[in-house]
Structure 1
């Protein structure tokens, strides 16, 4: 009888230890990371960037109305509204080598309001084949690309596909037309 009670206590202890360990692991992988950056006037400011448990690959430079995101690894930068949230690698797949999701801090929530997705070329080439769309040519920072405008689940969406070295980059918008136009005007390839 005494042996059964000890066994029960040991099992309860192991279960509690497992729950605490799992909770700490989950908390450490999803909590926002803080990045100290230098602003234009030399002050250091902290910018919270969600990274899904990986090291931040880009740098955020705070501005008064817009922040600038710069990614030297893939060679691009863009400005985004200061009150918007930036999340690196919010999802993973074999075809997506790196992605960023920009979303407003307030207002209507959608899955990918503005998406920057660095993908394998075959993914970009095949993804829009079965979608009814309007296709046109577009130039972004001197680079020629393809613009697809289409409807998906009742929403108007736009995707711009541009070459990016051995990859392609998809710039996508889901209902935030004004924020997207501001973003697209400032998108630059680093040379």
Structure 2
């Protein structure tokens, strides 16, 4: 069991850090919160109760998020973010996209932000609901709300061509597609 938990830690730690950062934590605060979550899990391994956890990935994220929110630092208001950089490629563009995303995530309420973060880490809706103490329908509603808010405040992704290069479409008399 100990080795299984250590493997779980190696696989999930950086993902839990990223998860907590989606809630607005700095890297350092997210690492602290994740560490506290895994420490609590390690204690359960030593006590022999770790096997009782049905969804360990959701459980450790929930514990880390709760820890972060309990020790929440003063948040930097969105208006204090640096001015937008000129669009470009590479690191500068990615940095700008990350700033836009962080600013948009701060527009979400804590519940919607948490549900979105769980969802982005491929935690199933029923597990999200269980660990957030909400109904599955509420989890789905919060996810919709988060998506709607992000869609409104983030630039649309670049449009891709509607069909792959080198293919042709011909409509049949029934309006269908022919190969």
Q: What's the TM-score once normalised by structure 2's chain length? A: 0.27
Return the structure number with greater relative CO, CA threshold 8 A, min gap 6: 2
Q: 1 or 2, which has the higher helix percentage?
A: 2
Q: 1 or 2, which has the higher strand percentage?
A: 1
